[in-house]
Chains A and B, each alone.
Chain A
Amino acid sequence: MIKALSQDLISQAKEIYERLKPTIEKKNWGEYIAIDPISKEYFIAPKLADAMRTARDKYPDRQFFSERIGFKSAVSFSYSHLHLT
């Protein structure tokens, strides 16, 4: 049975991401990360679906927290990050 992401696991995954940020933002800015809060493993790929698929292939019974590296969210509507004023 797939283990759903509880609020607690999401918080743990966000903490893992915050810890990784200084390192991965230099190397993988703009790519996507899928984090397994249980094993604390993470999977980075240029496309979100690829990061999630790699994570799912390794842990088919788990769920993952995703982010876009260097951005505030994994995906966005209206894509307003170019507002410079």
Chain B
Amino acid sequence: MALQQVIAGIDNENQIRLECEITGLYKATSYGAIVDTGFSGGLVLPQVIAVDIGLETVGAGNVTLADGSIRTLPMYMCKVKIGDVIQETDTLVMGNDVLIGMNVIDQFTLIVNGPKGQVSVEGAESAAGIRNALIQNPHDRLVNTLKKLTGR
């Protein structure tokens, strides 16, 4: 699916960044957010940005942090626009960077050209189809079964 041009690339710390517009209760602002495929949620915002744009509090949830510890943290909602795709997504407030996680990225196809430092972003019209195809793969079926058994 053709997507309005999205500015994306690899920064000098080897992180993939893409331009997004984040809309809170008070205002909208654009950021070059880091794509964090290790983050299963939607969005992470630093406190200073969260206060600036205003976030809607929706409650709390358990969050597994990178060190493996689990904490119950406040959860918020805001809108994120990438290209011409607008999503309302779950949001955490922590750290110093704007992170975009898999709950947002799973709507898109990202193609990374490492040697050229280029990243292209497309709408993922067939994301569900790809996921279903992966589930049919015997290895993924095994992994999914193990996940169900272990709960991890």
Q: Say whether A associates with B.
A: yes
The answer, yes or no, to whether A74 is at the interface (CB within 8 Å) is: yes
Q: Is the CB of A49 within 8 A of B103?
A: yes
- Contact A78 to B152, CB < 8 A, known contacts A53-B88, A56-B58, A64-B59: no
Could you say which of B39, B66, B90 contacts A52, with CB atoms under 8 Å apart?
Answer: B90
Interface centre among B89, B90, B101 (most CB of A within 10 A): B90
Contacts of A44 in B (CB 8 A): none
Contact of B152 among A48, A53, A72 (CB under 8 A): A72
Do A75 and B143 touch across chains, with their CB atoms under 8 A apart?
no
Q: Is B42 an interface residue (CB 8 A)?
A: yes
Q: How many residues of A contact B (CB 8 A)?
A: 35
A66, B59: Cβ atoms closer than 8 Å:
yes
Closest CB of chain B to A22's CB: distance in Å? 12
Tell me, rounded to whole Å, the shortest Cβ–Cβ distance linking A14 to chain B: 8
Q: Which of B3-11, B27-35, B68-76, B112-120 contacts A (4 or more CB under 8 A)?
A: B68-76
Residues in A whose Cβ lies below 8 Å from that of B146: 84
